[in-house]
Structure 1
Amino acid sequence: MQGLHGLRGTLSRLMARPDSIVLELGAGGELLVARLRLLFAALLLVLPVANILTGGGLGETLAGLAGAILINLLSLLWLLLARDPRRYPWLPFVTTGFDVSVVTLVLGLLAWQHPPAGLNSTVVWCCYALAIMFTALRGDGRASVFAGLLAILQYGALLAVVVASADSPERLISSDYGVVHLGSQFQRLVLLAILTAVTAVIAFRTQQLVLTSGHDRLTGLPNRTWLVHQGPQLLAQARSQECSLSVALVNLDGLGRINQQEGEHAGDRALCHVVELLRGMSGRGDRLVRLGGDELVAVMPQPAGTAWERMDAARRELTSRPLVVGRGGGRMYLSFSAGIACSPADGLSMADLLRRADRRLRQSKLEGGNKVIARDD
């Protein structure tokens, strides 16, 4: 039962929407896939030329040339769309569907001319595998599952149509492509399923590694890496909505003393206690980040005055909620100091806001701590 529960949890995480950092990295992967697709599409233009040079028919060559040009135009369109990261939430599913459907279309055209060619063409069928494996570059397990299921459904439908339309067993026999065996065709479907599972796991592991690099292990909060990636986007969003964005730099008072007297474990518990309180008092759209050590950053889509009121309320609440430490149930009273900066008044970049907030935090410390400062004297 535990194994089944764990598998269910893994599947739910796999099918969940990726973190914003993963989406940003996946946008770069989508752009890479678009460039590779355009390169492969350009190589298709060589095939009609080779066909006419080796004695192929003019009609067949023109049809192949028209198909190659169409694929190149669509590949160029996907490349242009992939240059905008904002399209990434939906673009991988559209382009993946295109890649898989092109393979099915080619196999269908081959099967229409010669059924064994459509079902036993190993080279073209392997393009399904390429389409599925390319989804690993996007870092989104949902795209991998989508590609695999679409390939299985389309190839299975093609197999059913070709076998059903064969008026005699001899139609499924070829001196060049061999005999169409249902057993070997079923094995191909199983291979697609296995490849889909492996690619989805690779994409999932990529997501986990990215999340680990962007989150703090002790508190589970986003870390400095997350703030570096997402800070500019939060500021851009605030500017587009013509609203303020406040940044509060929070520092736990006396953490070094706690570590010396009670041990580092108590210091970790004290930090987590503060994080839990700030999380509980966070508003809609707020983001809490751990920069490192005892420094936290609260990003709030609020003007400086509102941000000060909320942080000061959290400061007062913390002083009334002591942390129970030790087996004897001793109580440890905590406090924090904070400096607040607000965009656009205090700066237009995250670096400017953090610099101004740090200056006000140091002023709070000089005045004895346990204080929130949002304006310079």
Structure 2
Amino acid sequence: MTKRRIFDSIITRLVIMVVCLVCLGTVIRYYALGSFLRQELSTVVQEQQQAMAGYVARDIDDKITQRQTLLAQLATDLPQAMLVQPAALQDWLRQHYRYQSLFPGGLFVTDPHGRVIADYPTAPGRQNHSYAERDYIQSAAKGSRYIGKPVIGFALRTPILPMAIPLFDSNRRVSAILVGITPLSSPGFLDLLQKTQIGHGKGGFLLVSPRDNMYIATSQKKMALAPLPPRGNNPLHDRAMAGYRGSGITTNANGEEEVAAMVTVPSTNWFVVAQLPASEAFATVGHAQLFAIKGAIIATILFALLATVCMYFVLLPLFQAAEDAERMAHGDMPLLPLSIRRRDEVGHLIAAFNRLLGKLHEQQGQLERLAHHDTLTGLPNRRLLADRLKLALAQSRRHGTHLALLFMDLDGFKRINDSLGHDAGDEALCMVTARLQAIVRESDTLARIGGDEFVLLMSHLDAQAAEMARTVADKCIAAMQPPLLIGGAKFKVGISIGIALDRTDSTADSLMQEADQAMYLAKYNGGDCLRHN
């Protein structure tokens, strides 16, 4: 089977059509499934992010609150008299520092102007150093406890979170400021936020200070104390800075899509961000889509193979019928009805073809009859007579028999045509034919070769061929004696007969010429008689 035939095959076209439909359905399912799963997962992931951000925010809030409470208690317990006794104050700080672990960066006391009076543990350069420019000092100097902006500590040289609380004298004036320092990297402080990652490395937590416009701490240490990106880079972040707390899908400053949730840390007005790249959050969608595509490809291949095999067997009778029809067209086999193997649509098609073939046979038979028979009388014409004469000559020589040829022409026929017309003449010819057919044998051939000329071929004759031919000729003459009744009138029609017998050197043409000449001799002698060659 050639490639062209394969591509032109109805099976190939049907399989391609079905595969295209399956592929179209797969594409639709691919996007529909992706959209559905993404929508469902989006809700679930956002809720998960919200829950994790809330848990981290509560943890941070608890730790900040503990430090604020401890610092307030220390401020209450600190004797006012020690503010003028630096050595005693430092000893008091040392004693109280041992019993708490919430300020591993140390404690120090400043005067109302921010100059350090005493600290513990003693840090190089901190004694008598002025922190007047620090926001927490400025706020505490006005009488308010304050959580300062996270900075790189002057003494510790590491990121720290300072907390300050004012000490009041008997006149409710700020007499000193107590400061507690917590390094952001202190164990047990921001560990949950800094050491926890979400997903496979790019997701995590951010601790954001809207007041200070900075990241306090993140799961990625390089971002700690970094300024926030400009507005407009991350729509959800901009909403969070404006006070929105919740979750959503956004595009971060790096242009990457992510799922984020924001929860406030109540004690500081900071907020925690739990973020996860959308590529990881919705990885299941991609996996499901990939699984669907792989399944669809495998199913399509299996379906195409199965459909091809099934359709091949269904259409096999049609293929076989087409092969047989093609062989008939090339003449390799006779025109016969095709076999009907199944009574389905293919069987109905083959049956219709067989009916068409039958009509073609019928029409072909009619054409052959028209080509070899006289249309008026139904007798063989000159062409068929010639074929049968040649065949009879060959058989007579093979079997040692003889044949005779009787050439007959009607006498008085022209008068019927002239007086009554051609229709009457045709009727007369049919009557003559009927009378002659009643005389001849079944093995003989009676032919009409022209107007009113008839030829009788007598084959398979023995040595008495001449006598048998004369006997039949006499019968023909006798048969024409009764007049013909045409249109209410009687017409006498005679017949002139010329007889030719075969010889060893006879041919079909020579016999026809001899019989024709003998007929003209009969005509010349008055007609209604016979003559031999």
- Report the TM-score when normalising by structure 2: 0.39
Q: Cα distance 1:333–1:136, how it changes in 2: closer, same or farther (>3 A)?
A: farther
Matched-pair contact (CA < 8 Å) for 1:235–1:245: yes
Which has the larger share of helix? Answer: 1
Q: Provide the residue aligned with 1:324 in structure 2.
A: 485
Q: In the aligned structure 2, how far is the partner of 1:316 from the partner of 1:120?
A: 69
Q: Does 1:131 align with 2:292?
A: no
In structure 1, how many angstroms separate the alpha carbons of the residues matched to 2:329 and 2:404? Answer: 37
Structure 1 Cα separation of the partners of residues 330 and 532 of structure 2 = 44
Q: Is the 8 A contact 2:385 2:445 kept in 1?
A: no
Q: Deviations over 1:166-213 (max 9, x none)?
A: xxxxxxxxxxxxxxxxxxx82222222122222222222112111112
Whole-Å Cα distance in 2 between the matches of residues 208 and 250 of structure 1?
27
What is the aligned residue count? 223
The reply on whether 1:342 has 2:504 as its aligned counterpart is no
Q: How far apart in 2 are the matches of 1:217 and 1:235?
A: 27
1:144 matched to 2:336? The reply is: yes
1:240-286: per-residue Cα shift (whole Å, max 9, x none)?
Answer: 22111111110001222221123222222222222111100112311
Alignment of 1:69-84 (within 5 A): none
Aligned partner letter, 2:403: L
| Structure 1 residues 121 and 333: CA distance shift in structure 2, 3 A | closer
Residue of structure 2 in register with 1:294 after alignment: 452
- When structure 1 is superposed on structure 2, of 276-285 and 222-231 the one drifting more is 222-231
In structure 1, list runs of 5 or more residues that go unmatched.
1-39, 44-113, 157-184
What residue is the counterpart of 2:517 in the other structure? Answer: 359
Q: Which amino acid aligns with 1:144?
A: L
Per the alignment, in what secondary structure is the counterpart of residue 298 of structure 1? strand
Structure 2 residues without counterparts, runs of 5 or longer? 3-307
Query: Does 2:405 match 1:247?
Result: yes
For residues 212 and 282 of structure 1, the distance between their equivalents in structure 2, rounded to whole angstroms, comes to 23
- Equivalent pair of 2:410/2:494 in contact (CA under 8 Å): yes
Q: What is the alpha-carbon distance in structure 2 between the residues aligned to residue 326 and residue 116 of structure 1? A: 72
Which of 378, 381, 385 is residue 223 of structure 1 equivalent to?
Answer: 381
Which residue of the partner structure matches residue 191 of structure 1?
Answer: 349
Cα distance in structure 2, aligned partners of 1:256 and 1:242: 41
- Equivalent positions of 1:99-248 (< 5 A) are 116=310, 119-120=313-314, 125-132=318-325, 134-135=327-328, 143-145=335-337, 148=338, 151-153=339-341, 156=342, 186-248=344-406
Identity rate of aligned residues, in percent? Answer: 28
Q: 2:56 matched to which residue of 1? A: none
Matching of residues 10-49 of structure 1 within 5 Å: none
Could you say which structure has the larger radius of gyration? Answer: 2
Partners of 2:413 and 2:493 within 8 A in 1: no
Task: Tell me, in whole angstroms, the C-alpha distance in 2 between the residues paired with 1:211 and 1:134.
Answer: 26
Given that 1:132 and 1:199 are in contact with CA atoms closer than 8 Å, whether structure 2 keeps it comes out as: no
Three-state SS of the structure 1 residue aligned to 2:526 is coil
Provide the rounded CA distance (Å) in 2 between the counterparts of 1:293 and 1:351. Answer: 20
Cα distance between partner residues in 1 of 2:329 and 2:356: 10
Q: How does 1:2-13 map to 2 (within 5 A)?
A: none
- Counterparts in 2 of 1:284 and 1:195: CA distance versus 1, 3 Å: closer
Q: Aligned AA for 2:491?
A: M
The answer as to whether partners of 1:215 and 1:222 remain within 8 angstroms in 2 is yes
Structure richer in strand, relative to its length: 2
